[in-house]
Every structure is written in C-alpha cells, then in structure tokens.
Amino acid sequence: MTAPLLSLRGIGVRFPQGGWPRHRFLRAAHAVDLDVGRGEIVALVGESGSGKSTLGRVVARLQEAHAGQLLLDGVDVLRSEPGGASLAYRRRVQLVFQDPFASLNPVHPVGHGVARSLLLHGHATAATVRERVQAGFAAVGLGKELVDRHPYALSGGQRQRVAIARALAVEPELIVADEPTSMLDVSVRTDVLRLFRRLADAESRAVLLVTHDLASARLVSDRAVVLYAGRVMESGPAARVLAEPRHPYARLLAAASRRHDGLAAPLPGRPGTPPVVDPPPGCPFAARCPEAIPACTAADAPVVAVAPDHLVHCHRAEPA
Amino acid sequence: MAEPTVPVLEVQDLSIAYGPVRAVDRVSFAVGRGETVGMVGESGSGKSTAVLGALRLLPAPGRIVGGTARLEGHDLLALDAPALRERWGARVALVPQGALSSLNPLLRVGDHFAETFAAHGVRPSEGGRERAASLLAKVGLDPRHLDSWPHALSGGMRQRVAIALGLALDPPLLVLDEPTTALDVVVEREILLQLVQLQREAGFAMVFVTHDLALLLELATRVAVLYAGRLVEEAPAAVLAAGGARHPYTRGLLAALPPAPGEARLPVSIPGVAANVADPPPGCRYHPRCPLAEPRCSVEAPATRGTTHRVACHLVEGA
Amino acid sequence: MSRGDLRSRVGAALLLLFVLVAVAGPWLVADPVALVAKPLEPPSAEHWLGTTGQGQDVLAQTVVGARSTLLVGVVVGILVVALGAAIGATAGFLGGVADLVLGLVINVSLVMPGLPLMVILAAWLPPGPVTMALVLIFTGWPWHARVVRAQVLALRNRDFVAAAVVRGEPTWRVVAVEILPNLASLLGSSAVGATLYAIGAQVGLEFLGLGDLASVSWGTNLYWATNDSALLVGAWWTFVPTGVCLALVGFGLALLGFALDERANPRLAVSSSGAPGPTPVERTDG
C-alpha cells in the first residue's frame, strides 16, 4: 500500500469573532484527518457550516490552518513553506471554483488564465503558448475558437470547463474541486463529473471533490468523508459511506438526499444548525441525534473502525 | 374526481418580452383546486418569468405581450393596480426566490405580518398577532420569532417565514419560486415535508417553480417542462416518474438525473448548450440537441398537442 | 441615441475643440505678451476681444493661456489618479499592517484642509508649472486612494482573483493585471474628475497670485484682469472670455464624467421605466 499523495492530520481552522481581545472563535475545522491517494477521487461531503469548503481552501493554500499538518508526499508544507505556498506547490495542487461566472476575470479572454498558468510554470513559451492553450481547451472538450471569447459569451458549463482547463494547464497531481457542478444545469453535470473521473483514471490525477450533493459524489468518487461542524463523522469507500452510512448524521444526510421516497417519511434527526461558534464539548451532532446517549455530550466521539478502511466517529458504533 | 371545477389559475398562450427578446412564447398551463403544478426548466427556460408574469409580478423591463391569465375566472392581465392589489396576498400569494431579499431588513417578523394584514383591511385588534404566531408554529418556527429581525434568522428559517407570510390570508393559490434552491438538503427536506402537510390541511393549490425535476416527481400532481421560453411537455408527475415522458428534452432531463440507490443506470448529459432565448434556433428550439431531429424541426415550430398529456413535438404524439 | 451617449459626445466634442485651440491656436494669434494697442480697448475689428489693462491682445492671451492650463490640468489629473490608485490598491489588496499604515496616511491627508495647504505650498515654493503640479498632486491624491482602496477590497475576495493567486501569480501582477483592469471605468471617470479639479484649483491659485505671473494661462489672465481694476472700469472683455472658456471646459469634463460614471456604475443610469407597479401589458400577439 503506497503512501497517500496528500494527508491532513489534525487540521484545525478557526476564525476570530469580534474585536480585541480575541477570545471567541468560529471553529470551521477541528482535528480533521484525511488522505487522498494518487489518482483517487475523494468526496468531501457536508452541508453549510460543515467546513468542507474551508478544508478545500486549506489544501489549496488559500486559507491558513492554525493547527495540524498538511502533508504532500510526506512533507508537511505548513512547516516547510510557512510564508505561503511555493510555486512548486502551486504546480502540484490546483483548485476549481464553484461559481463558473465568478471564477473567470470578465475583462480578459477566457484563454488568458490558461496561458498565464502555462507561462508561469514553464510549460510553454510566448511562442508556443497559444497552441498549448488550444490543446488544453480541446482536452476538456472545448472548441479552440472559444479561446479569445470573453466569459459573458460562454455558457455556465463551458465556463466551468475553462476553469478545469486552467487548473490542468500546470499538470497538477491533485485538483481540489469546490462544488464544481452545483451552479450548472443538471443536464450538463454528468459530463463535468465524468471529466474528473477520466482525469483520475487516465492521467492519475487525484481529485478532492468538495460537494453537498451525495448523488454526484456517489457517481464518481472512490472514497468519501462526511463532515459536520468542521469534524469528520465518517470516512471510507464511497459506495458504503454514501449509500449505506453508519453514522447518524450521514444517515440523515443520505435520507434527505433521496428523491424517491414520496416525501412521506420524516427525517431521522431533529432540525438544527451545526454548533461552530465556541462549540460545547462532545460530539457536535449530539443535540440532533436520534441515538444520542449521555456520553455523546461528555466526550469527543472515538474513532471506530467498522471495517478495515471504514471509520465512524461515534460513541454508538460497533467495531468490526 | 368530482364534477369539473373552474381551475384556480388558467394561463393561455402567455407571451412575455424583454425589449425585443421573447423570454416566454405562448405558454399555457392550468392549476386546479388543491393541485400542485411543478414548473421545471433550466437556465433561460423562462419558468420563473412565465409564472411571475401571469401574476403581473414581473419586474420592469419585462412586459406581457400576449395571452390571458385567469385567476378564479378573472383575467389578471386586464385588471388595474387596485384590483390586482386586492388579489395579491388574499387570493394568490408569492413566496419569492431568496427569502433574504424578500424580507424587509428594517422590520421585525411580526411587523411583516402586520403589514400584510393591514393592507387587506384586517385590523390589529382582530387577533392578528395570534394568527401570526400560529402561522409561525405551523411552519415549524418558535412563535417568539415574531420579534426577531430577519438578519438574525438562518436561510431556512427565513424561507419558513416567507411561506408563513404567504399563507397569512389563506389564499387558494400559493406560488413558490425556487423556494429551496439556496438551502441545504436537510433543511430543504424539512421545509418540503412541512409544506406538504400544510397543503393537506388547508387545501390550497400550489405552483412550484424549480430546476429540480426529481423533486417535482415526488411533490407535484402535474409537471410543466419549459425549454427556451416554450412549453415542451405537460403531464401528470406519476406518468413521468413511471417512464412515460414523451418529449425528447424531458427524456433527456430524466436521463441526466442521478440514479436512485440500487438503480443500475448511469446518468447521461444532454449534449450541446442550452438555447439562448435572445437568439433562439429556428423552428423547434430544441432541435440542435435533439436525437430525433428531422429537417422539418429546424423550420417549423411544433404545436402543442394532447389534452391530459400535452407535448410540443413534431414526432411525438400527446394524449 | 441614449442620454449617456449624447452627453459623452457633447462633452468630448467640447473638449476636443479646446484641445485643438490649445495645440494649434497659438500659431494663429498674435504674441500675447506684446503691447499691441492702447490698454483696455473694447472689442473691435482689429482686436476681436479687445485689449488688457497693459495693452495686450485678449484673444491671443485667451488662446495661448489654454495650452498651459489644459496641459497642467490633464497631466495632474492623470498623475493624481495614478498615484492615488497605486497607494489605494496596495492598501486594499495587502490588508493587515500595510493597510493600517497606508490607511492612516490616506485618512490624515484627507482630513487636512486642502485649500490652505495649497496656498501655503504655492507661496513657499518657487513659482512655475512643476510647483503647481506638485502642489495639486500632493493635495489631490488621497480622495482617489480611498475610492480605489474600497473597490479593491471588494474585488479582492472574488474567485477570479483567488484563481490568479492559486496559479502562482506574483502579487503585483494580481493587482495590476487582474484587479485594476476591472476598475477601468472608475479610473477613467476619476481621471476626468481629477482634471476638472486640477484646472479649477490651478486657476484659483493663479488668481490669488500664487502662480507663475510671468506665464500666460487662464488663471494669470484673471489675476491681471483684477489687478488692472477691470471690474471697476467695466472692461468685461478682459475676464469674460477666459471665464467662458473655463466654464465650457468644465462643462465638457462634467458631461464626460457623468457618462463614464454611468459606465462604471450602471445603477446610476436613470431608467426609462417609471415607478414599480404591476407588469405592464402591451399586446403585440394576435
């Protein structure tokens, strides 16, 4: 078993609330462990307030983590590059944004970002860049005539493909995709998701797929990690975690995501919002959990291996 | 069903334009008492425009250029502002997209209800606050939120307030424009379950505008599918859910949906780019992406055929 | 054509006219400082705008004065915006300590009374166009810095800026190539406004006698006109032509400025539709 390409160990991210002295914090992520192997698609699943986007940005080094390690090929880049990501890191880890309308600069033609990526990382010279941009567009299924058009002239699906072409230009080993299809029409989502699958299978590029859409995640992911209130609830093979989850929150999420029950059955969990500001001790889901016991509010949940590669963070889980 | 009744809302050949662009082209649909009609389409389909236009609630520079929209028999397109104001809120209520912008940030929740009651002649002494409190409870909110400010509430809570406001005057028709699009899936589900229960109790009809076809198959009685400003199919939801969709676009939409757990199907995207209403393809607007397209389709726009299952396609029959 | 188009065309036409006058005019008129006739002669066939209190040709002075005034005005207008934008963009994008320090500098500069400062500086430094330019730039840049800083703060969090950072662009390129081009309309309208300010302040200082009295510019024309008691003797032709030119240039710049403002912020454009109400019905279908 080879070492994973990317590892998060005990990552914590917090945002101070209010002015000085800073003693109230919004805890966006806490004690997060996550692995992404080469050529693997890992889905980071959760709702708003789960911390999934924040973690995606930590991996892309747009967001600082105040605790924990970020290991790329075993090297903790938070210690080796404390002042911000090096160009070398930026070549290996790229990011595709959620909003295809906001991630392209409206004053530049859509080929600009791809060209800049190629030039910055030495993948093309001024003489060869135009041809390489066209090749990059073709690789994501876009016609080369679109290279000089401005963003307003392209559809949402086309813009998202441009964003993917831009990320691919540097030939990254890991792509963080932050809700890449949530702002696209349903009828074009599958093609974009399949593109990621192809990148993983044919080019060994790992993908960290940040999403709230379990169905998309199930379609293309190898493994899945479910987050709530910035903490991991369950992680393991996507087929099991997303279709037959063991953690009560993951079960609630799966039940709410189904579209075939006829809106009859009540949901397995009480309404509520994740406690992220100065959270109380214990499991963050305890207040809403149908299976909570006193231990849940007293101490953090233990990590239980219900199968060799399937971990559940729950007091009620039974080990294999 | 019992004897045929006058539909609550009957829209015929409605056309709406923004300047030279026909955003909605001769769309017809009807909503019966207690029914839920889903309007589904993707970006540029005109689903919101059609519904808001029918109610005369479409903001400028949109304008209605043709058709009729009868609410309980009266054509809304022929009424003046005072007559419309009598009906807005009392006979038809709108729950708009994005409850954050539909709630006045300078008014507490309770004041929103007071405003609505006052506009329709319900005096404060006549138990308005009690009614507002009971409405909040009905949508699953603590009645103490009558004194809350909109910014203090979460997105889901604001949407519930918007629904409660819509039901304040017990209208026979509730129109919801993408009410849960911006919400998390668990909150969305909770709100929809609440809405279904409310409808069962109060008996109002609903028009539900959304891009989420899978949701409508569970929620709606009938579904109207729009593409590039035109109606392409209108059928009972049960028929569509059972594989009975006829129009190639509807079939394409259904094929693009993620499969149910256990379903052995892989979703398929519709090739091509959504038609631009500002510069639509000639003839049938879907023909560039349609697997069945024939030469006739790029020349002549298809008529809508059928009665209980309507389809606008040269090659497929209605029913 | 739309209101905006009409305004920008009229404004641009006016300015073009004066630019032509400034560039080509001096070759077509007499020497403005030469004594050509009796002082304070009213307009006549020989001297279309009469003579000054010294006996110089007013038309020549007006035409030649345009060159100095407009040149300093435009150069200062552009430099004020450039300096203000550079400082404001740096403060807005870097944030943190840099923003605190630069923000303090901007705010203190804004609060200092501009007119007295201008007067003091102009009086203390040796007269000439360079001094004038420095004085105007020194007192004019903070406003633009503040405006640009606010816009950069708003754009800094946009995804396309983050995308540039993620692909490894150096900070200066992110600001100069990704952010500032998005402010083009704002910078354009600011430059027009700054030019208007520069011309007005320049003329004001010269009128007070703080400019280079040996040069010929619209401001010094007005200075000499009052100095020679033109008002007392009713010699309107010594200051009205300059005044009218200033008013027209100001008008042209203002029109151009409004049009650019609307491009920068489309919400400023007055819409033709009236008050909100029910969707109008205008049947065109059969």
User: In terms of domains, do B60 and B124 share one?
Assistant: no
| Contacting residues of C for B26, CB less than 8 Å apart | 285
pLDDT at B276: 86
What 3-state DSSP class applies to A70? strand
For the segment B196-201, the average pLDDT, to the nearest whole number, is: 92
Residue C49 lies inside a defined structural domain of this protein: no
pLDDT at B29: 95
Please report which helix (H) or strand (E) contains residue A216, including its range: helix A214-220
Q: Measured between CB atoms, which of A158, A190, A214 is closest to B269?
A: A190
Q: In what order do the strands lie in the sheet with B230-236?
A: B92-95, B173-177, B205-210, B36-40, B222-227, B230-236, B310-312, B304-305
- pLDDT band, residue B238 (cuts 50/70/90): very high
Residue A132 lies inside a defined structural domain of this protein: yes
Q: Measured between CB atoms, which of B13, B61, B81 is closest to C278?
A: B81
For the segment B245-257, the average pLDDT, to the nearest whole number, is: 94
- Give chain C's domain count: 1
Please answer whether residues A55 and A215 qualify as being in contact, where contact means their C-beta atoms are separated by less than 8 angstroms. Answer: no
For the segment B268-278, the average pLDDT, to the nearest whole number, is: 88
- pLDDT value at B129 more than 70: yes
Reading the block at residue C42, the tokens are 């009213």
Place of tokens 């101490």: A299
User: In terms of domains, do B30 and B83 share one?
Assistant: yes
Place of tokens 């109790």: B201
CATH number of the domain residue A232 falls in: 3.40.50.300
Angle of CA points B89, B162, B197, to nearest 5°? 90
| Contacting residues of B for C285, CB less than 8 Å apart | 13, 15, 26, 65-67
Query: Least CA distance to C279: which residue of chain B?
Result: B56
- Give chain B's domain count: 2
CA distance B115 to B131: 13
Query: Least CA distance to C183: which residue of chain A?
Result: A107
Task: Decide if B43 and A185 are in contact by the 8 Å CB cutoff.
Answer: yes
CA distance B279 to B281: 7
- pLDDT value at B107 more than 70: yes
User: In terms of domains, do B83 and B215 share one?
Assistant: yes
Residue C227 lies inside a defined structural domain of this protein: no
Quick check: B20 contacting A, CB < 8 Å? no
| Contacting residues of A for C169, CB less than 8 Å apart | 116, 120
For the segment A287-312, the average pLDDT, to the nearest whole number, is: 92
- pLDDT band, residue A286 (cuts 50/70/90): very high
Q: Which chains touch C (3 or more CB pairs under 8 A)?
A: A, B
- pLDDT band, residue B55 (cuts 50/70/90): very high
Residue C23 lies inside a defined structural domain of this protein: no
Please answer whether residues A137 and A78 qualify as being in contact, where contact means their C-beta atoms are separated by less than 8 angstroms. Answer: no
Determine the structural domain holding residue B166 and report its residue range. Answer: 105-170
Short-list A113, A94, A93, A91, CA closest to A102: A113
Please answer whether residues A85 and A133 qualify as being in contact, where contact means their C-beta atoms are separated by less than 8 angstroms. Answer: no
Among the listed ranges B156-160, B311-315, C31-35, which one has the minimum average pLDDT value?
A: C31-35
CA distance B7 to B319: 20
Reading the block at residue A268, the tokens are 């397995």
- pLDDT band, residue A24 (cuts 50/70/90): confident
User: In terms of domains, do B148 and B218 share one?
Assistant: no
CATH number of the domain residue B19 falls in: 3.40.50.300
CA distance C154 to C175: 13
Task: Decide if A103 and C169 are in contact by the 8 Å CB cutoff.
Answer: no
- List all residues 6 or more positions away from A117 whose beta carbon is below 8 Å from its beta carbon: A123, A166, A167, A169, A170, C167, C168
Residue A1 lies inside a defined structural domain of this protein: no
Q: Measured between CB atoms, which of A90, A99, A107 is closest to C167?
A: A90
Residue C45 lies inside a defined structural domain of this protein: no
CA distance B278 to C212: 60
The A-side interface with C (CB below 8 A) comprises: 60, 62, 85, 87, 90-91, 94-95, 97-99, 102-108, 113, 116-117, 120-121, 163, 166, 169-170
Residue A318 lies inside a defined structural domain of this protein: no
Query: Least CA distance to B51: which residue of chain C?
Result: C279
**B86-123 per-residue burial string, b: 16 or more CB within 10 A, e: under 16:** ebbbbbbbbbbbbbeebbeeeebbbebbbebbeeeebe
Angle of CA points A202, A204, A206, to nearest 5°? 125
Short-list A78, A100, A97, CA closest to A89: A78
pLDDT in tens, A52-106: 999 999 999 999 999 999 999 999 999 998 888 899 999 999 999 988 889 999 9
Please report which helix (H) or strand (E) contains residue A114, including its range: helix A111-120
Q: How many other β-carbons are positioned within 10 Å of the β-carbon of residue B202?
A: 14
DSSP string of A189-215, one letter each residue: HHHHHHHHHHHHHHH--EEEEEES-HH
- Ranges in chain C, pLDDT < 70: 1-4, 265-275, 286
| Contacting residues of B for A190, CB less than 8 Å apart | 256, 267-269
CA distance B186 to C188: 48
Residue B2 lies inside a defined structural domain of this protein: no
ipTM over 0.90: no
| φ, ψ dihedrals at A7, nearest 5° | -135, 135
Task: Decide if C165 and A62 are in contact by the 8 Å CB cutoff.
Answer: yes
Short-list A213, A153, A208, CA closest to A186: A213
For the segment A129-151, the average pLDDT, to the nearest whole number, is: 92
Determine the structural domain holding residue C157 and report its residue range. Answer: 3-17+70-216+233-268
Quick check: A142 contacting B, CB < 8 Å? no
Determine the structural domain holding residue A160 and report its residue range. Answer: 6-313
CA distance A269 to A228: 13
Q: In what order do the strands lie in the sheet with B74-75?
A: B21-31, B9-18, B62-71, B74-75
User: In terms of domains, do B222 and B306 share one?
Assistant: yes
Residue B100 lies inside a defined structural domain of this protein: no
Alpha helix segments (H runs only) across B168-276: 185-202, 213-219, 237-241, 248-256
Q: Measured between CB atoms, which of B193, B258, B269 is closest to A187?
A: B269
User: In terms of domains, do B177 and B165 share one?
Assistant: no
